[in-house]
Structure 1
């Protein structure tokens, strides 16, 4: 059965305590946001297997504060405690004792005072911590120094366990099935929304979690998605010959798939469209071939860039600007995460190791030509790259 067992969560907490102690912390706090979004859930989930589905609700002092969030308090020399405003928790139980409190910020301050000696406390999940809650914590904990410790989470999650790799494989396979369902639905006369619904239904039917997508087509194919709250249009109907581009992301047991495909609706691509599609696919595939233990990440990015620059598309249109700030991909696990696949920068000299998972991608967006996006997810193994989003067809 897929999933993470209680013993692995215990080992994760031990590993985090060791990292925290080496960093000079007396303990750490993992803070996460739920609400059925997957932007900031990973830190609490990684340590306990708990996800908070209550959506965020603005504070009502005296009644509730930080609804839709959860926290783990982890002293370097004591047991973990999970704080949530959920009154009852379903199976599987979190891998830590649970304390329920309507005001998570006050409860967190109280628990820090009770379990972590005066000193430095690392905060993991800073992006999900509102400034008003941060100020309140600091004002009520004058003897504790709260500091950013997100680097600890990145370090401990970098290499995946065998159980995590199994989940990533299952997630990649589900993502590919969802994309195939979208392709099957994308016939002339259907809407972007109907195509999106086919992909989402496949994810939900299998028990996965839909995270989001960017979808565009036809005259709007050079954009990432519609400007409104929905990333797809219920009015834009596909025509034969349209470019249709989808960047799709979701998860299995919290572990993400992230893949992108572009194709031509209802007919074979023109010569110009083929150049566009080949440029993004071939450059990503060239990078995938380089994903082997010991290889510096910068070399992977340089290989992708070189193949892209030699493409027929660039020969005819020149070199377009990057849609990702020069990055050719990123780490993948419980979130979109480092390392960033770039030719330079802080991660370029990092060497690949077995057990890492990367998403390699490229997107071209030119109003005069259209948009093409290609992305695959890959596990690094001792024998080389393992593509986990391959199309079985």
Structure 2
């Protein structure tokens, strides 16, 4: 049965205690957002298996604060405590003691004050609003709250066997959803109808829809519609349109993230074929480089070399490309970033990592296209989970 068991959560918490102790911390606080959006939920979920679906609502002094969030306090010595505003929790139960609080900030401060004075690491800094941070600092004398997001990234870099199985299941679901989108993308259909087909496939299989970017025709060089919906219900596809979709969702919290582009109801023109070939072939060249010990900068360089040799680049150069070839993948879009230069370029790949390699081109005069696949790094080589096996990659169109 797919999922993460209680023993693995216990190992994760113990590993985090060790990381915190080595950093001179008394413990860590993981702070995460809820609301069914899958944005910034991963730190609490990774340690406890708990997700808060209550959406954020503004604070009301004296009634509640930080609604729609959750926190885990994990001392170096002592049990994990999960704080949430949820009054009842379904099975499976979180892998921590559970306490309900209307004011999450003051409840967390009370628990921190019970610890010996010292530094407490905060994992999830970008999710904690400035007023909450200031309030915490003002009511925990003798304690210092310091940023510790690097500990979270370090803990989640290499995936366990159970996590890898979930990423494989997510990749398979992503492929199914993309196939449903492609089948729905016929002349006369709207962008919204294509999106609905993909979303229905995800939810029908028990996955969670996270998001997408859709564009087509004259707007295919953009990522998505500018309104709250990332697709348009008033945009009907025509034969010969370029259609581009970047789709992401999850199985038990573990993501798939893939992008495809194609021509609707017609064979590609020469210019469209150059564009589609360039994004696909450069990514596939990078996939073949995803092996333990390889430096991430080498992977990016290989992608770049293949793109530069493409017929598209010969006619248009590198215009419309930002130089980033992908990112880590797990419970979120995460480090390392796949680029030739930058903080991740010198890092070496390890078995158990998962990366999403991608290329996206946006040229108003030509159109736009994207191609992205998720790949697990194994001791025997790359394992694509959103694409066919390596020996058939180059045949895919």
For normalisation by structure 2, the TM-score amounts to: 0.97
Paired residue for 1:51? 51
Structure 1 residue runs of 5 or longer lacking an equivalent are none
For the 8 Å contact 2:170–2:256, the answer to whether it is kept is yes
Paired residue for 2:135? 136
Answering whether residue 60 of structure 2 is matched by residue 63 of structure 1, we say: no
Paired residue for 2:88? 88
Matches for 1:289-328 after TM superposition, within 5 Å: 289-323=288-322, 326-328=323-325
CA–CA distance in 2 between the matches of 1:15 and 1:391? 35
Matches for 1:219-298 after TM superposition, within 5 Å: 219-298=218-297
Residue 117 of structure 1, CA deviation: 1.2
Paired residue for 2:107? 107
Paired residue for 1:205? 204
What per-residue deviation string (whole Å, max 9, x for no partner) do you get for residues 95-150 of structure 1?
00100010000000001112x21100000000100000000000001211100000
Matches for 1:135-154 after TM superposition, within 5 Å: 135-154=134-153
For the 8 Å contact 2:320–2:363, the answer to whether it is kept is no
Answering whether residue 9 of structure 2 is matched by residue 12 of structure 1, we say: no
Residue 363 of structure 1, CA deviation: 0.3
Residue 322 of structure 1, CA deviation: 2.2
The root-mean-square deviation of aligned C-alpha atoms, in Å, is 0.9
Answering whether residue 357 of structure 2 is matched by residue 360 of structure 1, we say: yes
Answering whether residue 138 of structure 2 is matched by residue 156 of structure 1, we say: no
For the 8 Å contact 1:30–1:72, the answer to whether it is kept is yes
Paired residue for 2:393? none
1:351 is paired with a residue whose SS is coil
For the 8 Å contact 2:202–2:209, the answer to whether it is kept is yes
Residue 345 of structure 1, CA deviation: 1.1
Structure 2 residue runs of 5 or longer lacking an equivalent are 390-395
Residue 261 of structure 1, CA deviation: 0.1
What per-residue deviation string (whole Å, max 9, x for no partner) do you get for residues 55-80 of structure 1?
00000011110000000000001100
What per-residue deviation string (whole Å, max 9, x for no partner) do you get for residues 19-48 of structure 1?
000000001000000111111000000000
CA–CA distance in 2 between the matches of 1:87 and 1:357? 36
For the 8 Å contact 2:217–2:237, the answer to whether it is kept is yes
Paired residue for 1:374? 371
Matches for 1:344-359 after TM superposition, within 5 Å: 344-359=341-356
Paired residue for 1:39? 39
Matches for 1:162-173 after TM superposition, within 5 Å: 162-173=161-172
Residue 94 of structure 1, CA deviation: 0.2
CA–CA distance in 1 between the matches of 2:124 and 2:333? 14
CA–CA distance in 2 between the matches of 1:302 and 1:352? 15
Residue 391 of structure 1, CA deviation: 5.2
For the 8 Å contact 2:20–2:28, the answer to whether it is kept is yes
For the 8 Å contact 1:176–1:391, the answer to whether it is kept is no
CA–CA distance in 1 between the matches of 2:388 and 2:101? 46
CA–CA distance in 1 between the matches of 2:321 and 2:116? 48
CA–CA distance in 1 between the matches of 2:116 and 2:256? 40
CA–CA distance in 1 between the matches of 2:231 and 2:125? 31
2:112 is paired with a residue whose SS is helix
CA–CA distance in 2 between the matches of 1:359 and 1:241? 29
CA–CA distance in 1 between the matches of 2:141 and 2:312? 60
Worse overlay, 312-321 or 199-208: 312-321
Paired residue for 2:392? none
- Runs of 4+ in structure 1 off by over 3 angstroms are none
CA–CA distance in 1 between the matches of 2:137 and 2:13? 25
1:374 is paired with a residue whose SS is strand
CA–CA distance in 1 between the matches of 2:125 and 2:36? 19
Q: State the number of aligned residues.
A: 390
CA–CA distance in 1 between the matches of 2:109 and 2:262? 52
1:197 is paired with a residue whose SS is helix
For normalisation by structure 1, the TM-score amounts to: 0.98
Residue 317 of structure 1, CA deviation: 1.5
